[in-house]
Amino acid sequence: MALKSETFPIATSDDVVKVRQTVRSWATELKFSLVDQTKFVTATSELARNTLEHGGGGFMTAEIVEQGPRKGIKLIFRDDGPGIPSIEMALKDGYTTGSGMGLGLSGSKRLVNEFDIQSEVGRGTVVTITRWK
């Protein structure tokens, strides 16, 4: 159940910086530890950049969620881009479609508590991540 929900556009590299800072401030509000904050904001940066560069731009919806007594932040990255043909390959360390080390997806998975990815070639991609306090 979401206690708070906001959607942000990801269309420029400035937007990537903005969503990083937004997630940082939400994490601070929920009193995440410094290391957990850093991990989560870094994952945000990776996924936002993916949305911009591979997805052609899209949106990030941020929600504060709760499960029993614990609270967390859930982020949903959505784009209508080309999609990912092989999710299994994409989640392997070192996989990359362009220049670079290709650690965005697989790395982000290790930085969060819950990770889900849905993608359809030609339709787009949705990546959902959650970090609990």
Partner 1 sequence: MDRIPILKMGDCLLVTIQVDMHDELAMSLQEDLTAQIARHASRGVLIDISSLEIVDSFIGRMLANIAAMSRVLDAQTVLTGMQPAVAITLVELGMSLPGIKTALNVERGMALLREFMGNDAESEEDDGSEE
Partner 2 sequence: MSAFQEIVRAHEKAILSGWLNEMSTSTRRKDLINDADFKSQATELLRLVTDASQSSSDVQSEAFSATRTFLKEITKARMDMGFSPAEISMFVLSLKQPVFKALRDALKDNDAELIDEIWLSNTLIDKIGMLTVDTAVGFRELTIARQQEEMLELSTPVVKLWDGVLALPLIGTLDSARTQVVMESLLSAIVETNSQVAIIDITGVPTVDTLVAQHLIKTITAARLMGADCYLSGIRPAIAQTIVHLGIDLVDIQTKAKLSDAFALALTRMGKTIVSTKTATVNNSQKAKEL
Task: Kindly state the number of chain residues that form the binding site for partner 1, as judged by CB under 8 A.
Answer: 27
Q: Does 75 contact partner 1 by CB under 8 A? A: no
Comparing CB distances to partner 2, the nearer of 18 and 71 is 71
Q: Does 110 contact partner 1 by CB under 8 A? A: yes
State the nearest-atom distance from the C-beta of 57 to partner 2, in Å.
33
CB 131 within 8 Å of CB 36: yes
Part in contact with partner 2 (CB under 8 A); list of ranges 7-15, 16-24, 65-73, 75-83: 65-73
Q: Interaction with partner 1 in 76-105: which residues (CB under 8 A)? A: 93, 100-101, 103-104
Dihedral sign from CA coordinates of 103, 105, 109, 112: positive
